[in-house]
Amino acid sequence: MKNIRKNYKLFIVLMIFWFLLTFSLSLSNFITGFIICIIVTRASYGILYDEKGFKFKILGILDSIKYFLILFIEIYKSSFSYIFRIIKKDCEPFIAEVELEVSDPLAITIISNSITLTPGTLTVDVDGSKLTVITLKDCGDCAVLVNKEIKEKFEKLFIERG
Amino acid sequence: MIYRILLFISWVYIIFGMIGIFRFSNIYSRLLTSSKIDTVAAMTILIALIFKCGFSVFSIRLILILIFIIITSPISSHVIARSAYLNGISIKKEVGK
Q: Domain with A108 in it: what CATH number? A: 3.30.70
Statement to judge: residues A101 and A153 lie in one domain: yes
Query: ipTM > 0.85?
Result: no
> Closest to B91 (Cβ–Cβ): which among A76, A93, A120?
A93
For residue A45, give its domain range. 2-54
Statement to judge: residues A29 and A94 lie in one domain: no
Statement to judge: residues A31 and A105 lie in one domain: no
Per residue, the 3-state secondary structure of chain A, as one string, reads CHHHHHCHHHHHHHHHHHHHHHCCCCHHHHHHHHHHHHHHHHHCECCCEECCEECCCCCCHHHHHHHHHHHHHHHHHHHHHHHHHHHHCCCCCEEEEEECCCCCHHHHHHHHHHHHHCCCEEEEEEECCEEEEEECCCCCCHHHHHHHHHHHHHHHHHHHHC
A109 vs A16, residue with greater confidence: A16
Question: Picking from A62-66, A129-133, A148-152, B18-22, which range would have the lowest pLDDT averaged per residue?
Answer: A148-152
Statement to judge: residues A38 and A76 lie in one domain: no
Would you call A122 and B32 a contact, using CB atoms and an 8 Å cutoff? yes
Statement to judge: residues A47 and A103 lie in one domain: no
Statement to judge: residues A49 and A90 lie in one domain: no
Statement to judge: residues A78 and A155 lie in one domain: yes
Residue-wise pLDDT tens digits, A11-46: 888 888 888 888 788 889 889 999 999 888 888 877
Residues 34-73 of B with CB under 8 A from A: 35-37, 39-40, 43, 57, 60-61, 64, 70-71, 73
Statement to judge: residues A82 and A136 lie in one domain: yes
Share of chain A above pLDDT 90, in %: 2
Statement to judge: residues A49 and A65 lie in one domain: no
Statement to judge: residues A41 and A118 lie in one domain: no
Q: With 60 as the cut, is the pLDDT of residue B48 above it?
A: yes
CB contact A80 to B (< 8 Å): no
Q: What is the pLDDT of residue A35?
A: 92
Domains: count for chain A: 2
A153 vs B16, residue with greater confidence: B16
